[in-house]
């Protein structure tokens, strides 16, 4: 279990000196202790997508921001670079890159745009993990997975996909055979009942079709270590004829109760199921909200097709319920909604955007090119280019040069390579996390700061594991496993899709990448507190811990089918997202109208208001983790910039 993995990069961050500019010596020393020196032996390939070890929010991306938050970072005088841009975008994720694209499209040739990002790679959460095993290039998403429900995308999100050359119909046609690959090999979905929870030994079961939100076949649980009472309760829960578990209430009152109580409360208090039955459903909502059934409203469970509601006369679930609301768009999670998954997730979108913004950075232009396209990172920030993308640049302060009501420029201070640098922009779009903006912009009104700080992003981990073959999955009869009480709650093969010259392996004897997911939630606490505690625990975990537990879990699950962790694992990349999914409003903890209406009193609406020459664009501004939310908010922010340029006589909002 301790066998070394080649090309392992334990830290994968910028050098600690990147934080040096303007930091006090003791703060710099603390940052340095959190970071090891990356040697050529550990990291022979500095190409960011190919780096292994701890990625996502890697070392060097957040330490200075935490010091700023805690009041231990004191900014010294910055070195004025002399650069002035028409637009500075803080954040190089999908929202920031989309903002740069929309701005160029509206303003035309000659505009100068600078994108600043704290990571060593662009894309924000839309990161790409690359491995080479036995000479074969393998990909996995390091963050954002899907284009969810593209038929529901608004006009500007569809326009952006068209602009960058995304052709969903062609992609689906090209992957017709791949779509049935795992099923053709007799593989469906599996579950792991771990020994720590159920006693005895681990039980690995192939369950057939999809588990989450889909039908459960009782016969597939014949070998599950469930008690007789749990089996009886589960049969009752899944029966075609069920009682009304909220008798005496009319339909509206029932929905109100379900909106204000968790699915756990509904199952355990109203349906009265055994705790082992709830164990089967405890992860409802984690893939969308980073919390489980104890913090997900029961009404969401009804919408998503979970059992227990057939006898309650709730009516039909409208096909578009929640789907178009900007406060979370919960209807997107219904079983059957189409999702488009590229081999590297939505990193393909980020790469297509970069190919348009900085054409010199890659020869790739088409959707298919992005499978194997190589990015020249040195070309991203060249003098004279209309768009410059400056990575490993930690923004620490954004302030107008003078009164925000009349200032002509905004100064942006960032730390990079041991220097504190100031650049100026005639407009700024903050495409970073809402909760960071109050610390970066002390001049904002107090009410707006409070609104920006309200949403607490959900922490999560995507672990990518390159393996030399996937024969154990075929032998076990499952392409993916649900493991609610193990270290990673989800373990599976990457989706069978190809892109251009990048071909998904067709034989189990070929190498492939496994996609593992860990949700850092703390059941029993209010949702936002779960996120805070989970993030603290995540940041305290070392890569060594992740590597050990990943190897251990895979060996336990797959060892009986011939897997050998020491022999078969070729690489591990841990994508740590302490600030992962945008906070969506939750009717257990938040006002009901925030969840089910377009209330202007929602914090996301108050927080995203423009201030002086600064606009705000990110998925937090929509209170939605979906990719189209990030694009929509980028377009809105650019519209605000264009309005100010077009009608400069209109008073700016500064309070």
CATH code of the domain covering residue 441: 3.50.50.60
- Name the token pair of 385: 């280019």
Query: Per the domain annotation, does 506 fall within a domain?
Result: no
H or E element that contains 462: strand 458-467
pLDDT at position 264: 98
- Whole-angstrom distance, CA of residue 96 vs CA of residue 89: 6
CB atoms within 10 A of CB 162: 10
What's the number of CA atoms in the CB half-sphere (13 Å) around residue 301?
28
Query: Per the domain annotation, does 28 fall within a domain?
Result: no
354 and 451 together in one domain = yes
What is the mean pLDDT of each successive set of 10 residues along the chain, which is 655 residues long? 46 30 37 34 69 88 75 78 97 98 94 96 96 96 90 89 97 96 94 95 84 60 94 93 95 96 98 96 91 95 90 81 49 59 97 98 97 97 97 95 96 90 97 95 97 96 98 96 96 97 98 97 95 95 96 98 97 95 94 88 96 97 92 97 94 89
Distances (CA, A) of 214 to 70, 179, 246, 294, 336: 45, 19, 24, 20, 10
Domain boundary among 302, 332, 362: 332
Tell me how far the alpha carbon of residue 168 is from its chain's centroid.
21
Q: Where are the beta strands (DSSP E) in 95-148?
A: 113-116, 128-133, 136-141, 147-148
Among 648, 499, 488, CA closest to 558: 488
* Radius of gyration in angstroms for the set of CA atoms belonging to the chain, rounded to a whole number: 25
- Whole-angstrom distance, CA of residue 307 vs CA of residue 212: 11
The owner of tokens 């910028």 is 14
- Name the token pair of 34: 């959190």
Q: Give yes or no for a contact between 363 and 405, defined as CB atoms under 8 angstroms apart.
A: no
Give how many domains the chain has, as a whole number.
2
273 and 373 together in one domain = no
Residue 1, burial from CB neighbour count under 10 angstroms (0-12, 13-18, 19+):
exposed
H or E element that contains 414: strand 410-416
Among 357, 416, 423, CA closest to 117: 416
Q: Where are the alpha helices (DSSP H) in 125-250?
A: 155-164, 168-174, 176-179, 181-184, 195-198, 228-238
- Whole-angstrom distance, CA of residue 148 vs CA of residue 608: 24
CB atoms within 10 A of CB 72: 13
pLDDT at position 402: 96
The owner of tokens 């939630």 is 521
- Whole-angstrom distance, CA of residue 11 vs CA of residue 169: 40
Query: Per the domain annotation, does 33 fall within a domain?
Result: no
363 and 440 together in one domain = yes
CB atoms within 10 A of CB 183: 12
- Whole-angstrom distance, CA of residue 432 vs CA of residue 564: 41
Tell me how far apart the terminal alpha carbons of the chain are, to the nearest angstrom.
58
**Sign of the alpha-carbon dihedral angle for 448, 453, 456, 461:** positive
Residue 630, Ramachandran bin (φ over 0: left; ψ between -120 and 50: alpha; else beta): alpha
pLDDT at position 216: 65
- Name the token pair of 419: 């220097």
Query: Per the domain annotation, does 375 fall within a domain?
Result: yes
Among 15, 17, 18, 13, CA closest to 51: 13
Rounded to two decimals, the pTM is 0.91
Q: Are strands 419-425 and 410-416 parallel, antiparallel or unpaired?
A: antiparallel
Distances (CA, A) of 507 to 185, 337, 479: 10, 29, 13
The dihedral over CA atoms of 442, 445, 447, 451, expressed in degrees to the nearest 10, equals -50
pLDDT at position 215: 53
Q: Give yes or no for a contact between 360 and 385, defined as CB atoms under 8 angstroms apart.
A: yes
324 and 352 together in one domain = no
Among 10, 115, 91, 121, CA closest to 437: 91
Q: Give yes or no for a contact between 389 and 122, defined as CB atoms under 8 angstroms apart.
A: yes
Number of H helices, E strands in the chain: 24, 21
Residue 406, burial from CB neighbour count under 10 angstroms (0-12, 13-18, 19+):
exposed
Q: Are strands 128-133 and 136-141 parallel, antiparallel or unpaired?
A: antiparallel
What residues make up the domain containing 640?
Answer: 77-124+343-455+600-646
324 and 355 together in one domain = no
pLDDT at position 72: 74
The owner of tokens 């499978």 is 371
Residue 33, burial from CB neighbour count under 10 angstroms (0-12, 13-18, 19+):
exposed
Query: Per the domain annotation, does 105 fall within a domain?
Result: yes
Query: Per the domain annotation, does 179 fall within a domain?
Result: no
Among 121, 114, 617, CA closest to 414: 114
282 and 380 together in one domain = no
323 and 352 together in one domain = no
Query: Per the domain annotation, does 312 fall within a domain?
Result: yes
- Whole-angstrom distance, CA of residue 323 vs CA of residue 333: 9
Domain boundary among 332, 361, 381: 332
Domain boundary among 296, 312, 332: 332
295 and 397 together in one domain = no
Query: Per the domain annotation, does 90 fall within a domain?
Result: yes
449 and 355 together in one domain = yes
CB atoms within 10 A of CB 321: 16
Q: Which residues pair with 398 in a beta bridge?
A: 412
380 and 303 together in one domain = no
Give the chain's length: 655
Residue 322, Ramachandran bin (φ over 0: left; ψ between -120 and 50: alpha; else beta): left
- Whole-angstrom distance, CA of residue 103 vs CA of residue 435: 25
327 and 347 together in one domain = no
310 and 348 together in one domain = no
- Whole-angstrom distance, CA of residue 459 vs CA of residue 295: 15
Question: DSSP character for 36?
Answer: P
Percent composition of the chain: helix, strand, coil (DSSP 3-state, to 5): 35, 20, 45
Contacts of 216 (CB under 8 A, 6+ apart): 207, 234, 238, 280, 307
């Amino acid at each position: 279990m301790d066998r070394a993995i080649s090309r392992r990069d334990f830290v994968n961050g910028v050098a600690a000196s990147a934080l040096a500019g303007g930091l006090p010596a003791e703060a710099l020393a603390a940052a340095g202790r959190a970071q090891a020196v990356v040697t050529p032996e550990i990291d022979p390939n500095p190409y960011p997508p190919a780096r292994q070890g701890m990625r996502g929010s890697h070392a060097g991306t957040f330490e200075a921001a935490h010091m700023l938050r805690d009041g231990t970072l004191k900014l010294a005088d910055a070195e004025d670079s002399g650069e002035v841009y028409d637009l500075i975008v803080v954040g190089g994720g999908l929202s920031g890159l989309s903002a740069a694209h929309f701005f160029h499209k509206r303003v035309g040739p000659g505009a100068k745009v600078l994108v600043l990002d704290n990571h060593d790679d662009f894309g924000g959460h839309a990161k790409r993990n690359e491995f080479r095993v036995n000479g074969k290039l393998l990909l996995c998403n390091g963050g954002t997975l899907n284009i969810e429900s593209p038929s529901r995308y608004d006009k500007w999100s569809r326009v952006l996909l068209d602009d960058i050359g995304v052709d969903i119909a062609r992609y689906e046609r090209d992957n017709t055979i791949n779509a049935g690959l795992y099923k053709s090999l007799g593989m469906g979905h599996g579950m792991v009942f771990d020994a720590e929870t159920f006693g005895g030994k681990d039980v690995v079961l192939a369950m057939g079709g999809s588990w989450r939100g889909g039908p459960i076949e009782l016969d597939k649980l014949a070998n599950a270590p469930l008690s007789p009472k749990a089996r009886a309760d589960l049969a009752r829960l899944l029966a075609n004829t069920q009682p009304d578990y909220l008798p005496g209430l009319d339909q509206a009152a029932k929905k109100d109760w379900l909106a204000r109580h968790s699915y756990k409360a509904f199952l355990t208090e109203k349906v009265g199921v055994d705790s082992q039955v709830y164990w089967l459903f405890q992860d409802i909502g984690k893939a969308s909200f980073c919390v489980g059934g104890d913090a997900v409203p029961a009404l969401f469970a009804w919408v998503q097709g979970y059992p227990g509601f057939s006898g309650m006369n709730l009516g039909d679930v409208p096909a578009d319920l929640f789907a178009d609301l900007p406060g979370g768009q919960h209807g997107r999670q219904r079983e059957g909604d189409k999702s488009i998954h590229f081999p590297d997730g939505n990193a393909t979108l980020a790469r297509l955007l970069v190919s348009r913004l900085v054409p010199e950075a890659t020869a790739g232009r088409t959707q298919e090119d992005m499978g194997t396209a190589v990015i020249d990172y040195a070309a991203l920030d060249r003098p004279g280019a209309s768009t410059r993308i400056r990575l490993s640049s930690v923004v620490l302060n954004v302030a107008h040069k003078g009164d925000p009501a009349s200032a002509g420029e905004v100064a942006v201070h960032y730390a990079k390579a041991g220097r504190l640098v100031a650049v100026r922009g005639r407009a700024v779009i903050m495409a970073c996390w809402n909760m960071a903006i109050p610390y970066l912009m002390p001049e904002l009104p107090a009410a707006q700061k409070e609104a920006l700080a309200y949403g607490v992003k959900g922490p999560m981990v995507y672990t990518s594991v390159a393996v030399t073959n996937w024969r154990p999955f075929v032998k076990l009869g499952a392409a993916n496993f649900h493991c609610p009480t193990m270290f990673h709650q989800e373990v599976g093969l990457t989706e069978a899709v190809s892109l251009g010259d990048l071909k998904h392996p067709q034989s189990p004897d070929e190498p492939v990448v496994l996609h593992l997911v860990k949700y850092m939630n703390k059941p029993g606490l209010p949702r936002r507190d779960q996120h805070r505690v989970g993030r603290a625990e995540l940041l305290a975990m070392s890569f060594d811990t992740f590597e050990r537990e990943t190897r251990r879990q895979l060996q336990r699950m797959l060892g009986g089918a011939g897997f050998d962790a020491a022999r078969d694992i070729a690489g591990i990349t841990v994508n740590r997202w302490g600030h992962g999914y945008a906070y969506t409003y939750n009717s257990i903890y938040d006002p009901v109208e925030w969840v089910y209406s377009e209330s202007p009193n929602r914090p996301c609406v108050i927080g995203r208001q423009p201030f002086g020459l600064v606009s705000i664009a990110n998925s937090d501004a929509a209170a939605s983790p979906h990719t189209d939310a990030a694009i929509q908010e980028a377009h809105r922010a650019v519209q605000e910039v264009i309005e100010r340029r077009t009608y400069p006589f209109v008073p700016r909002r500064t309070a």
